[in-house]
Amino acid sequence: MKRYKENYELKNSAKDTLDGKYGGAVLIIFLSALISQTARFFISSIAVTTMNTVYYSTGSESVSTAISFVFDLILLAANVVLGVMNAGITLYFLKIACGQPYAVRDLFYGFRTDSSKILTIEGAMVLCQTIFLWPCQYLAQQYLSTQDEKWLFYALAAMLIGFCIYIPISLGIGMSFYLMLDFPEYSAREVLSICWRLMKGQRGRLFFLELSFLPLILLCILSFGIGFLWLNPYMQMTYTCFFLDLMNPREPRQQ
């Protein structure tokens, strides 16, 4: 029977691997967040300005709502494109873990190589998140607009159902970028399919590994988010160690 590392062992491996390399790891995570948030803020600002201008010019709420829907689609597409940097982040930490040369420019790997494959994988992830979590956001907005408690009940129900479906699926394809980088000959569809099979019986391990970071996440929130500069690289390297352990488990103990 295969033996996998415990959560504390994966975390210790992540700490040891990042020793002396935290500066670059923090920088690449910060750059990714800065680029993504700037792009999203720019799109959202244009959306609000356009909607207000159209509403004051026409007085039509339906037209304003239609424009809002268009910008929601634009933002969704932007999230997919910006998510290409996730492949670069994965590559960066995988190189560190495997003792290979690494650089901050790895962040933009996805825009230089295998762009269509990476876009497909990221698109599947974003689409999955949108389908199962967007209804909760919409219903919550309805509650905030009307203050009708029935919308709050619907939003909570949608959130519960959405997470119950989304979490197992996201865990099942969560290692896709690692797998794609490890086996570049696979197509995007093959990567997603193999990742799903590979994670069979392992999603629980990954889920509890993610839950183990909750205390640190709460501390980072109390630090007004500054702590995430150090926590995010630590989490990313821990997931990298999880993948490497998944692909190369230890030999079973001799009886």
Half-sphere CA count of 143, side-chain side, radius 13 A: 14
Between residues 124 and 72, which one has the greater pLDDT? 124
* Residue 237: closest CA among 55, 37, 98, 36: 98
Q: What is the pLDDT of residues 97-151, one digit of tens each?
A: 999 999 999 999 999 887 899 999 999 999 998 899 888 988 888 888 788 888 8
DSSP label at 250?
Answer: B
Average pLDDT of the segment spanning 39-67:
82
Q: Contact at 8 Å (CB) between 28 and 35?
A: no
The pLDDT confidence band at residue 224, using thresholds 50, 70 and 90, is confident
Q: What are phi and psi of 3, to 5 degrees?
A: -115, 125
Return the pLDDT at 58. 76
Evaluated on CA atoms 43, 48, 49, 54, the torsion sign reads: positive
Return the pLDDT at 252. 60
Average pLDDT of the segment spanning 242-251:
85
Return the pLDDT at 90. 96
Instruction: Retrieve residue 104's tokens.
Output: 């901050």
Return the pLDDT at 54. 78
* Residue 51: closest CA among 75, 38, 73, 69: 69
Averaged pLDDT score across all residues of the chain:
90
Q: Is the pLDDT reported for residue 250 higher than 80?
A: no
Average pLDDT of the segment spanning 223-240:
92
Q: Is the pLDDT reported for residue 209 higher than 80?
A: yes
Average pLDDT of the segment spanning 241-245:
95
Q: Is the pLDDT reported for residue 198 higher than 80?
A: yes
Query: Which residues lie closer than 8 Å to 237 by C-beta, 6 or more apart?
Result: 14, 17, 18, 25, 93, 96, 97
* Residue 237: closest CA among 115, 52, 40, 102: 102
Return the pLDDT at 84. 93
Q: Is the pLDDT reported for residue 2 higher than 60?
A: yes
The pLDDT confidence band at residue 218, using thresholds 50, 70 and 90, is very high
Three-state DSSP class for 3?
A: strand
d(CA 230, CA 246): 25
Return the pLDDT at 255. 45
pTM: 0.89
d(CA 162, CA 221): 25
Q: Among residues of the chain, what percentage have pLDDT more than 90?
A: 67
* Residue 100: closest CA among 192, 198, 195, 181: 181
